[in-house]
Amino acid sequence: MSEETPMMKQYKQIKAEYEDTFLFYRLGDFYELFFDDAVKAAQELEITLTRRGSKNEQDIPMCGVPYHSAEHYISTLIERGFKIAICEQVEDPKTAKGVVKREVVQIITPGTVMEGKAIQEKENNFIAAMYPFSDQSAAFVKADLTTGETAGAILNEDVNEWKREILRSDIKEMVVPSFFEIDELTVSSMVFSEEDDTDLQPEFKDLCSQDSNDKLKTAFAILTNYFKRTQKRALSHLQPLLVYKPHERMQLDLHSRRNLELTETMMENKKKGSLLWLVDQTVTAMGGRLVKKWIEEPLLNTKEINNRHSLVQSLLDHYFEREELRDRLRHVYDLERLAGKTAYGNVNARELVQLRRSLQELPDLFNLLAQLNNSYVKELTERSNDFTDLRQLLEESLTNDPPISITEGGLIKEGYNEKLDEYKEASRNGKEWISRLEQQEREETGIKSLKVGFNRVFGYYIEVTKANIPYLPEGRYERKQTLTNAERYVTPELKEKESLILGAEEHSTNLEYQLFLEIREKVKSYLHPLQHTARIVSEIDVLQGFSLVSERHQYVCPKFSQDRTLSIQDGRHPVVEQVLDQGDYVANDIGLGAAEEMLLITGPNMAGKSTYMRQIALISIMAQAGCFVPALHAQLPIFDQVFTRIGAADDLSSGQSTFMVEMLETRQALSMATPNSLILLDEIGRGTSTYDGMALAQSIVEYIHNEIGAKTLFSTHYHELTSLAETLDKLKNVHVRAVEEDGEIVFLHKVEQGKADRSYGIYVAKLADLPDEVLERAETLLHHFEAASGTESSTRRETTHEPETTPSLYEDDTSVSSSTKNEGAEQLALFQTGQELEHQEKEKKEDKAVESVLKDLKQADILHMSPIEALETLYKYQQTLRS
């Protein structure tokens, strides 16, 4: 086997230390990748894969990306969950003996990326560390390197709590010790990394307050040690570890976040159409990140909530001040991330100009806030800093429109540094002499096409076409370069000026670079005051946005009850009312006093039961986040948790059926809810047979009523359950009203007291434009089933105020036995009716397709199907009949 070159030996030695990364190996103006890295990168980045070969190196796959545009390629790989090791030349090639020394200067991972398209303006980029302990607890610490934000909590052994914290923060990368079992934490596409060093380094000890116990310090240690190992630089912008308790904020599990569409829609996973889309009226990136956090973590402390509400009201009362405030905020850049990039050492002059412009807005911004005369604003801004010294430094030092590169000059204003001004003056005077030289030489030689030019290889030159060469004076012009149609010359005077100009420019550029580094170091001393001010500005931005959306949509300030009263007059779903035509949304009330805990909601499909339930939850979340709410009046308890079981879908990835998913989500509510929680359960039990479903639904209602006592909204198509209002004193019946006009159903979307009289299932199917023959046949079969059962179905009875006679399924053994007997009798009657119908069809010699449909219909529980189930069933029948 042939011997490897020194360069490939160096590459392999470095790559061996970073096997789980793409190694971007610097060669001149390119980052090169070799072997498997090249094959995978070429595929992911859609770039050309080539081969490197010589007598010593045969058939080595390779690809490369330009150094100056590498950020785009790195961002693409990061978005797809890969890690990148940046390997740079760390010595001058001119002085190197042998192969140039190279080292990995940074490892970029999904959780440590600082810039590029992987960083979303209004989203945090969190990386977290988790360390488990023998007592079944775990320390959880998260950080956003782009802002310096850090926070940590002790979590109990409940894996659901672990997942909730991970999902709530949208963790991009998780750092764990090598012995940690990660399978149970695989809840998203986040990347896992390992770190076993648990010794907290001295430079990070001051970031752990007295509230940080040894467990949190352990998790903080493995996270910061991972940073040191991968980032290889000081991280002075990291903020002190904020210790929090998960239950100090309203708890919203994954299902509730999804069902309520807090930050993204269920169907398309987009912000538009979510609650965040509606209430995010922020104008700064910082405010955009904070409002998302507030929506996902509503407060439990009434005083803190009222502080936010008071400022929203003040901003409503001061319209002109609020509008001017919004204009000022539009000129404030992302102070958090500018501070982070400064500490990280990759901030450029343009970004420091953005910082300067932001600081110039602060005095007027704080003066506006003072005019509100609000006590909470005074509390927020009492320790604010207007950064007079820093603003003056940046105003005196940096040009207004500097280039992106910090190594090519054009950064520093004249007057800031005397030596730099001398260099610039020498360069400017030399260039003026050069511009006069061209005109002078033309006049002396008579050659009008003569011109003076410059390139980086040959410097300054005089160019003359070959036809004009005979007109040049002898002895003064020295040939420098021959072109096809021209010759390039220099003169002694031109050489002298070139040396002066280029020397001045080189000195000027080098000095500007050094001055810029000094300015950046001075800015670093303001990092923590900048971060504090950023928090103030972002909170003001969120609250002015709440004020704007409250004014625009006529929201009201909610009041909080001490006795757990839940009373909302003319409540609306905040998002649904915006997507409907103006005036189409029907507002609804809810009233649950201290002694009333549950609403049992009946009514036809598509009448608005689910929307009604969701709007109660969203109004509560908005109120506790600090926003006003869509209602005429609202008095609310403080809810510690919200649980929802709305909608149904198979979890194919884990092999769980619709019914199993439904039961698991219901179990979560039953096991975790407290009397201070809000529970929304929609059509529990519909995923199984009628009597199983009804029994489960009633048992769950009774358990919540008797054992938990949480405020609960329970919608159902089991009309028999409405009789529970007679035995459960804290339960009330309400229904969503619909009327039948000329054979058509009209949904009124109005919630009224009492129970519904009909389900209107076939009418809903008619709205879906199923074939008339299918609908007519369904009506015929429904009448047969009702006749066979010996009485008209409860879903077909007219409205009555007489109590239902169905006994409580779990009242005593006799009731259960009676239910079983009734079930057997009804099932037998249905079976016999099916035989009769089947016999009639055979007598009429209808085709086998109709027989198949009838056979299925005989077993179908039409009266208690959900809309989706009914549509799927009828579609299947339609296809059978057509075939």
Which mean pLDDT values do the consecutive 10-residue runs of the chain (883 residues) have?
80 94 94 95 94 68 92 92 94 83 94 87 94 88 95 84 84 92 69 93 87 87 95 90 92 88 86 95 97 96 97 96 96 95 92 97 94 93 88 96 92 94 86 88 91 86 93 88 92 86 88 95 95 96 98 97 95 92 84 92 85 96 98 97 74 53 83 94 75 85 94 90 93 88 74 77 68 76 66 40 36 36 37 43 56 74 65 72 66
**725 near 753, Cβ under 8 Å?**
no
Q: Are 63 and 50 in contact (CB under 8 A)?
A: yes
Query: Closest by alpha carbon to 360, among 385, 320, 398, 332?
Result: 332
Residue ranges of domains in the chain, CATH in brackets: 6-108 (3.40.1170.10), 126-248 (3.30.420.110), 280-387+526-552 (1.10.1420.10), 418-520 (1.10.1420.10), 559-756 (3.40.50.300), 770-883 (no CATH)
Phi, psi values for residue 681, rounded to 5°: -125, 125
606 is in an annotated binding site: yes
- What secondary structure letter does DSSP report for 812? -
Give the Cα separation of 358 and 337 in Å (integer). 13
| DSSP code of residue 555 | -
Q: Which residue has the tokens 């005036």?
A: 583
Measured distance CA(758)–CA(742) in Å, rounded: 16
**DSSP 8-state symbol, 299:** B
Tokens describing residue 418 = 């005397």
pTM for the predicted model, two decimal places: 0.81
Give the residue among 676, 678, 687 at the shortest CA–CA distance from 644. Answer: 678
Position 814 scores a pLDDT of: 34
Report the 10 Å Cβ neighbour count for 864: 21
**Spatial CB neighbours of 530, under 8 Å, sequence gap ≥ 6:** 335, 338, 339, 387
Q: Which of 868, 864, 870 is nearest to 691 (CA)?
A: 864
> Alpha-carbon distance 310 to 371, whole Å?
15
Any binding-site annotation on 603? yes
> Is 415 labelled a binding residue?
no
Residue 607 among known ligand-binding residues: yes
Give bridge partners of residue 129 from the DSSP assignment. 141, 175
Ligand-binding site membership of 609 (annotated): yes
Locus of tokens 């080098």: 510
Q: Are 528 and 535 in contact (CB under 8 A)?
A: no
* Cα–Cα distance for residue pair 458/461, rounded to 1 Å: 8
Please give the Cα distance from 628 to 306 (Å, whole number): 11
Whether residue 117 contacts residue 75, with contact meaning beta carbons closer than 8 Å, is answered with yes
Annotated binding residue 790: no
* pLDDT at residue 869, rounded to an integer: 67
Q: Are 412 and 399 in contact (CB under 8 A)?
A: yes
Q: Are 626 and 303 in contact (CB under 8 A)?
A: no
User: Which helix (DSSP H) or strand (DSSP E) does residue 433 occupy?
Assistant: helix 418-445
Residue 605 annotated as part of some ligand binding site: yes
Q: Give me the residue label for tokens 């001295």.
A: 202
Q: Count of CB atoms within 10 A of residue 122's CB?
A: 18
Closest CA to 6 of 46, 44, 54: 54
Q: What is the pLDDT of residue 829?
A: 36
